[in-house]
A and B are shown apart, each in its own frame.
Chain A
Amino acid sequence: MPKIIEIDNLTKKFGNVRGVENISLDIDEGEFVTLLGPSGCGKSTLLRLIGGFETATAGCIKLDGQDVTHFPPSKRAVNMVFQDYALFPHLSVGKNVGYGLRVAGVPRQQVITKAREALKLVGLEDRFDDQPHTLSGGQRQRVALARAIVRRPRVLLLDEPLSALDANLREQMQVELKNLHTKVGITFVLVTHDQNEALTMSDRIIVMREGQIVQSGRPMELYEKPKNGYVARFIGTTNMFRSSVEPGIGGGMISYFGQNLVAPPNVVIGRKNILFGFRPEKVKLISASASSNAENVLRGNLKGMLYQGQRARLLVELGLGEVIVDMPITDSINESQLPQKGEQVVMSIDPDKIMILNEETDQ
């Protein structure tokens, strides 16, 4: 895959405030990349640097092999979908979409045709003559998308495009964005603080923190093998704990809130104070009778339960602490089979599913 964006040691400072620091990142042509992180992590700054809305303090950005670090936005073959959509209120939907074609010297008739095509792509061709303020939030979002892709940019930048939509619409738009990406074949770079959005849509997620990249990888890679506690906490829910690794019967032995567990393979016996974590859905609930021949058994009392439809999230008291366990609800489970508050719960966790995490401060 040819590289479409090459970012080398990019730094942006706002006075003394750090925006992004020494970022190096390559993006392949046609990729759907998501920049993920909490607010203030520099993800939007990085996107705006690619778009040309901020000027880099140091480093360089290449687009299609050409150094565009000091190009204004109008000279870059990238287009942006703004968080507030930024539709021109004094222009009709059609004129909004055709806006970017006008400057390129495209004949008027062709501007109209292309704008109509782009609107058709987002299912709004019948709103061509309407004013933006008559549209719903989701429709404005689509117009903004149409306006950005009509110029056939090399890269489409999306700055938290779904954050202003309500939950149902957001899920629907996630699917549509993904479809659009497949249909138009343009490279997408999306910024979000929503891990679900990132997991659902991206080919690759880049987790950022304090202006730097913490980890970059496929959604599944990030979920299954988070590099450190920060990523584990930010993507999905993780039961985290610290333990030393003692020698045990079939390998290492670690302690989780006073209960012994077989350590995951590949961990060095004798190391102290290591950060471990496991996902709530990797824990299996077992019956008390089956516990004698299961390995890695945890016992606790149910403290609370959050029913979430396709699963129940259990909060289990282990004496010295609490563990979060997700119990899938299949059609073979009915209400009476769900554990009751205060009841003893017996669980088992496969040692392979226990993740060894780096310290959060490690990059």
Chain B
Amino acid sequence: MSGALSARFWRAAVLSPPLIWTFIFMFVPYAILFVYSFWEQAYPTFQPAFQFGNYNQILNDPQYFNVLARTLKIALFVSLGATLIAFPYAYFLVFKVKSQKYRQILYMAVVAPLWVSYLLRAYTWKTILGTTGILNSFLLSIGILSEPSSVFLYNQTAMILTLTYVFIPFMVMPIYSVLEKIPKSLKEASYDLGFGRTKTFFSVTLPLSVPGIVAGFTMTFCLTFGDFIAPFLVGGPDGLMIANVIASQFGAALNWPLGAALALVMIVIVLTIVTIADFFERFGKGKFA
């Protein structure tokens, strides 16, 4: 075997498994979904067709629009909340914690929960917010409440809290890594050129951390957007999200074509967000001297 041929053989050998995997488990299912989305329901099953009825239904039935809007709203609140908590935390770790050891510990404190099952972490909030939960016991013990309240659980606020908690590591990690890469001398140069701490933050530190914020925001947003466990555990009757609706179309409702159409709409929304984020992420990238 000649050298070039051998190199080509090895390249193919290394690349084939992931490509085949992606093709079978990503591309093919999407293609099937795409085909299904034009089929029609014929209760209790469905039959091949080519019609836009499913998409029409999504656009015209306010029920679906409302769920989509709610899902977007919750994803937005979760991402914003996570940013507002994660940025100061990461900033504190990178610039204020002087000891390398404590910085590592505090960083791991955020990341370590990722090793615990998602279900368990979401369930934790059920025990915190529930009628026999920690929050109620605490408020009872200090006398603010006279009997356990059920207002904390099973609503959108509970969902936003839970999802923010669950996905915040994905926000802290990218922000931490961009802040850590900002050379100390850049801030010093800004001070040297007459800027105070606040102005330096807005002129140097914040602009340079945009790629990290965008990356974290995108991840948190997309993860929340596709979540269907939190509505199950801590969401109330008004807490259904788009993923729950899709799941029910493939389950109880037995309307796979509509489910497929909804899933495709969701994919389009997520891809749009990722594309926009990608554009923002390029800002300031690869420019460190």
- Chain A interface residues (CB < 8 Å from chain B): 51-53, 72-74, 78-80, 82-90, 99-100, 103-104, 131-133, 140, 147-148, 151
- A72 surroundings in chain B (CB, below 8 A): 191, 196
- Chain B interface residues (CB < 8 Å from chain A): 183, 185-186, 188-196, 199, 203-204, 207-208, 283-284, 286-289
B195 touches A103 (CB 8 A): yes
A90 touches B185 (CB 8 A): no
A87 touches B289 (CB 8 A): yes
State A87–B204 Cα separation when bound (angstroms): 11
B208 touches A99 (CB 8 A): no
Q: Which of A73, A132, A140 interacts with B192 by CB under 8 Å?
A: A73
Contacts A86-B183, A133-B286; A104 near B204 (Cβ below 8 A) = no
Contacts A86-B183, A89-B208; A51 near B192 (Cβ below 8 A) = yes
Q: Which of B192, B207, B288 interacts with A74 by CB under 8 Å?
A: B192
Q: Which of B188, B203, B204 interacts with A53 by CB under 8 Å?
A: B188
State A52–B188 Cα separation when bound (angstroms): 10
State A100–B194 Cα separation when bound (angstroms): 6
> In this complex, which of A87, A104, A131 has the most chain B Cβ atoms within 10 angstroms of its Cβ?
A87
A99 touches B191 (CB 8 A): no
Q: Which of A73, A87, A147 interacts with B191 by CB under 8 Å?
A: A73
State A72–B191 Cα separation when bound (angstroms): 8
12 A-B residue pairs with Cβ-Cβ distance under 8 Å, sorted by A, are A52-B192, A53-B188, A74-B195, A78-B192, A82-B189, A84-B289, A86-B183, A86-B186, A88-B186, A90-B287, A99-B190, A133-B286
Nearest CB in chain B: distance from A69 CB, A = 16
> In this complex, which of A73, A79, A85, A133 has the most chain B Cβ atoms within 10 angstroms of its Cβ?
A73
Contacts A84-B183, A103-B199; A89 near B288 (Cβ below 8 A) = yes
- B192 surroundings in chain A (CB, below 8 A): 51-53, 73-74, 78-80, 100, 148
Residue of B with least CB distance to A164: B289
Contacts A88-B204, A90-B207; A151 near B193 (Cβ below 8 A) = yes
A74 touches B196 (CB 8 A): yes
State A260–B185 Cα separation when bound (angstroms): 56
B185 touches A73 (CB 8 A): no
State A82–B185 Cα separation when bound (angstroms): 7
Closest 9 CB pairs of A and B: A100-B193, A89-B287, A86-B185, A86-B189, A73-B191, A103-B194, A90-B284, A133-B287, A82-B185
State A48–B183 Cα separation when bound (angstroms): 16
- A88 surroundings in chain B (CB, below 8 A): 186, 189-190, 204
B188 touches A74 (CB 8 A): no
State A147–B208 Cα separation when bound (angstroms): 19
State A90–B183 Cα separation when bound (angstroms): 13
Contacts A86-B186, A88-B186, A89-B208; A74 near B287 (Cβ below 8 A) = no
* A-B contact sample (14 more), CB < 8 A, given A88-B186, A89-B287, A90-B208: A53-B191, A72-B196, A74-B191, A74-B192, A74-B193, A78-B192, A80-B192, A82-B188, A99-B190, A99-B193, A133-B286, A133-B288, A147-B189, A147-B193
A151 touches B194 (CB 8 A): yes
Residue of A with least CB distance to B186: A86
State A212–B14 Cα separation when bound (angstroms): 60
State A317–B287 Cα separation when bound (angstroms): 55
State A35–B186 Cα separation when bound (angstroms): 23
Nearest CB in chain B: distance from A144 CB, A = 8
- A85 surroundings in chain B (CB, below 8 A): 289
State A151–B199 Cα separation when bound (angstroms): 18
State A82–B186 Cα separation when bound (angstroms): 9
Residue of A with least CB distance to B204: A88
Nearest CB in chain A: distance from B241 CB, A = 37
Nearest CB in chain B: distance from A14 CB, A = 12
Residue of A with least CB distance to B182: A89
Residue of B with least CB distance to A79: B192
A140 touches B289 (CB 8 A): yes
Q: Which of A86, A103, A104, A151 interacts with B188 by CB under 8 Å?
A: A86
- A52 surroundings in chain B (CB, below 8 A): 191-192
Nearest CB in chain A: distance from B37 CB, A = 43
Residue of A with least CB distance to B193: A100
- B289 surroundings in chain A (CB, below 8 A): 84-85, 87, 89, 132-133, 140
A84 touches B185 (CB 8 A): yes
- A78 surroundings in chain B (CB, below 8 A): 192
B207 touches A79 (CB 8 A): no
State A5–B23 Cα separation when bound (angstroms): 70
- B190 surroundings in chain A (CB, below 8 A): 88, 99
> In this complex, which of B186, B194, B207 has the most chain A Cβ atoms within 10 angstroms of its Cβ?
B194
Residue of A with least CB distance to B189: A86
State A73–B282 Cα separation when bound (angstroms): 32
- A104 surroundings in chain B (CB, below 8 A): 194
State A181–B199 Cα separation when bound (angstroms): 31
- B195 surroundings in chain A (CB, below 8 A): 74, 99, 103
Contacts A74-B195, A133-B289; A80 near B208 (Cβ below 8 A) = no
State A35–B208 Cα separation when bound (angstroms): 34
State A320–B196 Cα separation when bound (angstroms): 63
Q: Which of B189, B207, B283, B287 interacts with A80 by CB under 8 Å?
A: B189
> In this complex, which of A78, A87, A89, A132 has the most chain B Cβ atoms within 10 angstroms of its Cβ?
A89
Nearest CB in chain B: distance from A88 CB, A = 6
- A82 surroundings in chain B (CB, below 8 A): 185, 188-189
Nearest CB in chain B: distance from A71 CB, A = 11
Residue of A with least CB distance to B200: A74
State A137–B189 Cα separation when bound (angstroms): 18
State A84–B203 Cα separation when bound (angstroms): 19
A90 touches B283 (CB 8 A): yes
State A133–B191 Cα separation when bound (angstroms): 22
B193 touches A79 (CB 8 A): yes
State A147–B185 Cα separation when bound (angstroms): 14
